[in-house]
Structures are given as C-alpha cells and as structure tokens.
Structure 1
Amino acid sequence: MATIGYQVPLTNLVEPDEQVLAVAKAEIAQGVQPADPPVTDPPAAQRPARSGAAGVASGVLLNLLVPLLSFPAGDRIVDRVIFGVAGRGAPGSAASTLRYARRPAPPVTSIEDTILAVTDRRLLVCASGPVTLWSSRADDERAAAETRIVWSVPRPTVADARVGWHRLNPKRLRIEFTDGSWLAFTVPLAEPGKPLREVAAALTSR
C-alpha cells in the first residue's frame, strides 16, 4: 500500500490543530533490539531456568539447525551475527516501549503495517488494519481506515534522526531519543527511501 494512503486516516487521528508533517511506512529493522519493558516477575515455577555458557552455545546451534525453535540467548547471537544491532535501550526506555508497542501478540493471525508519522508536536507510531500479500484496492482502503496510534512521544523526546547505510541496506532510519536509547527502521530495498528521509528531516528541523 502506498504511504499516501495513510495521510487521510492520520489527519483524522491527530488533534484538530495538529499538523502532520511526514509519513512513512516502515518496519522495525531486524537485528538485536532493546529489551522489553519491565514486567511483573512470573511465579517461580514458571520462570525459565538460567542457562550457562553451554546452554547459550546449544541455543545458538539449535537456532541454526532448527529455525522454528526459539531460544532467547541463541536468537540474540544469531541476530547480531546476521543483522547486527537494530537498537539499544534499557527496559522501559523510549526505544524499549516503542518496540514493544509493535511486537505482535501471539498467536499471530494477521499482518499489520507499521506507519511512522511526525506532526508539529509528536512522533507517532501507528498500526494499520490487517493487510494481505495479494490485497485489492478495497482491502488497502479498509486497512488504512483502521489505522490507529499505538505509541507516541513529544518531538523534544527525539534527540536525532538520520537515514544512512547499514551493511547492504542504504535506507535505514535510526531514531535516537534523549534517554540514550535508539531504534532503527527499514523499508524493502525495492521501495524508495524518500519517506524515511522526510521523517528524519521533520524530526530534526525543530
């Protein structure tokens, strides 16, 4: 779906006197990402056992041999080697809560677009309605109409934003926050990077 399809829904979502400056459809970059926000500790019986070096090594090996199995320590090492670092931040930081807001809640039964929007007041992260790979125009319009804001911060919370190369990807947007955390966003290589550059420009021209 073209980014322009989200302009009208976003204009309807913001305050009447709030102006939308830039919009980009993007995805959180693959790689090592900030930790989840703090949560209440589960009962002792439900806590996973701590694994030592042998457990980590086994997890990495199993991740490579059986990708459908998930071991957190192994996932992080594989992500670092293949994709690099896609964000940093302590639990509860801006990058941590942003990533968590777009983390699919299991069971995952549908796909939603992630939309970044910059207004004259805020950075918004939005989610569309469910989208499909082979969607019709009517499907795209319905998904756009169901767009909702899932996370937002005042613009002064953003310390910097820039688009640059990361490994083989020349269109990676890195958003840095004043608490020291950051998170990266990308678009497929076949799609233009102009919307990401417009978001970066809108965030840095205060």
Structure 2
Amino acid sequence: MQETSYRDRIGQLTEPGERVLAYAKAEAANGATPAPPPDPAAPAAPGRVTVGSALLNVLVPLVTSAPGDRLVDRIAWGVAGRGVPGSAASRLHHALRSPRPVGTVRDVLLAATDRRLLVCLTGPVKLLSSRADDERSLAETRIAWSAPRAEVASARVGWHRLNPKRLRLDFADGSWFAFTVPIAETGRPLRAVAAALSG
C-alpha cells in the first residue's frame, strides 16, 4: 500500500482546521507493558510474580499466568512502557489491543498534528491480502487513542538493545510507551513524528 494513502486517511480523521505534521507506520514495542486501566466491575487480581510462574511460562507456553508473562517479556525484550493503571501509557496500550479476526493483522499509524498525538488502527487485513483487501482495511482505519500535545512531555527515537529505531513517548503523568519499526525499515518517519511532537 502506498504510504501517501495513510496520510490521506489520517487527514480525513482529523478535526476541521487540524493539520497533520508527521505520521509513521509503527508497532508497539515488545517487552513488559503498563498494567491495563482499572475495570470497576472486576475484582482486584493478585499480581504476585513467582519464579515458579515464570518458569512454567517458559517450559509450558500453553499454561500461562499474567505475572509470569510479564517477567518473561521483561527478560526477553526489556521494558516497553511503564505507568500505573489508568495512566496515559496504560490507556494507550489497552487501546491497541482491540479484537481482530483470527489470521489477520492491523497496522498501527502514529500521527502528530498541530493539536494532538493520534494513534490509529487500520481495519483487519489477511496476511496474504489483495489490493481490494488493503483498500478496505485503509477505509476502516480509525483513531484508537489520542492525546493533546500538552500531554506528551517528550518524544525521542534511540537505541534499545539491537534496535536503533525505537520511539519513546513520555507523558505528563510520568508514564511512557514505546513503538518500533522492523530493523529492515527506515526510522525516518518515526524521527519525523518525534520531531513534530517535540517542536
């Protein structure tokens, strides 16, 4: 799909008079992430991590526990975001986890406008898709999460382990979340988003 199609679709999702300064196709970084926002209807779950639960996650991947998953992610990938439940990073991560049909993927589009940070999700598309599938996916693109520019304290692209193209978004509430692009792809769009949010 042509990258200009993404810009055109993001432009359709903005408010009247809002200008798109930069955009990038990205993916949420791998690693330990912030806890989900609190669900007032759910009872508090125990969050204790034990060596046994982490070892069980590694040895028997079909038997998992949330605390064990977080520990394995932290060891394998590092930390991809931090924040208390309900923080900006927590809400952002939760928004990216929308359900999709099995065997499909969604692209994540980050956009910096003169007013907001937009995080958009395309419609689901099959792994082996046709041009018609791509066009339908693009038409179904929606804003999954947004924040006013004032809520983004800083944005920078830098190294994390072996990936030199990791965008870290720090929010005014002290939380943060990271996005990456595959190693083979250029990091220029992510740097443009970081520059637009910092400028």
Q: Give the TM-score, by structure 2 length.
A: 0.92
- Residues 57-110 of structure 1 show CA distances to partners (whole Å, capped at 9, x for unaligned) of 221112111223321111111111110011111111110100000113387563
Q: 2:85 — aligned with what?
A: 91
Please identify, of 110-119 and 181-190, the stretch whose mean Cα deviation from structure 2 is larger: 110-119
Q: Distance in 1 between matches of 2:47 and 2:15?
A: 49
Q: What is the CA distance between 1:146 and its match in structure 2? A: 1.0
Alpha carbon RMSD of aligned pairs, Å? 1.9
Q: Secondary structure at the match of 1:79?
A: helix
Q: What is the CA distance between 1:182 and its match in structure 2? A: 0.3
Q: Is the 8 A contact 1:5 1:141 kept in 2?
A: no
Q: 1:135 — aligned with what?
A: 129
Q: Distance in 1 between matches of 2:63 and 2:101?
A: 16
Q: 2:66 — aligned with what?
A: 72
Q: Which structure 2 segments of 5+ residues have no match?
A: none
Q: Secondary structure at the match of 2:168?
A: strand
Q: Secondary structure at the match of 2:123?
A: strand
Q: Secondary structure at the match of 1:129?
A: coil
Q: Distance in 2 between matches of 1:134 and 1:114?
A: 18
Are residues 1:115 and 2:74 paired?
Answer: no
Q: Flag the 1:107–1:60 CA change in 2: closer, same or farther, 3 A.
A: farther
Q: What is the CA distance between 1:141 and its match in structure 2? A: 1.8
Q: Which structure 1 segments of 5+ residues have no match?
A: none
Q: What is the CA distance between 1:2 and its match in structure 2? A: 4.6
| Pairing of 1:152-171 with structure 2 (within 5 A) | 152-171=146-165
Are residues 1:31 and 2:25 paired?
Answer: no
Q: Flag the 1:52–1:106 CA change in 2: closer, same or farther, 3 A.
A: same
Q: 1:18 — aligned with what?
A: 18
Q: Secondary structure at the match of 1:15?
A: coil
Structure 1 stretches of 4+ moved >3 Å: 50-53, 104-110
Q: Distance in 2 between matches of 1:92 and 1:26?
A: 23
- Opposite residue 12 of structure 1, the aligned amino acid is Q
Q: Is the 8 A contact 1:3 1:23 kept in 2?
A: no
Q: Flag the 1:204–1:36 CA change in 2: closer, same or farther, 3 A.
A: same
Q: Secondary structure at the match of 2:186?
A: coil
Q: What is the CA distance between 1:138 and its match in structure 2? A: 2.3
Q: Distance in 2 between matches of 1:52 and 1:143?
A: 40
Q: 1:58 — aligned with what?
A: 52
* Identity fraction in percent: 60
Q: Give the TM-score, by structure 1 length.
A: 0.89
Q: Distance in 2 between matches of 1:97 and 1:155?
A: 16
- Opposite residue 173 of structure 2, the aligned amino acid is D
Q: Distance in 2 between matches of 1:106 and 1:174?
A: 26
- Residues 144-173 of structure 1 show CA distances to partners (whole Å, capped at 9, x for unaligned) of 111101111110110000000000111000
Please identify, of 65-74 and 87-96, the stretch whose mean Cα deviation from structure 2 is larger: 65-74
Number of residues of Structure 1 aligned to a counterpart in Structure 2: 199
- Opposite residue 15 of structure 1, the aligned amino acid is E
Q: Flag the 1:51–1:113 CA change in 2: closer, same or farther, 3 A.
A: closer
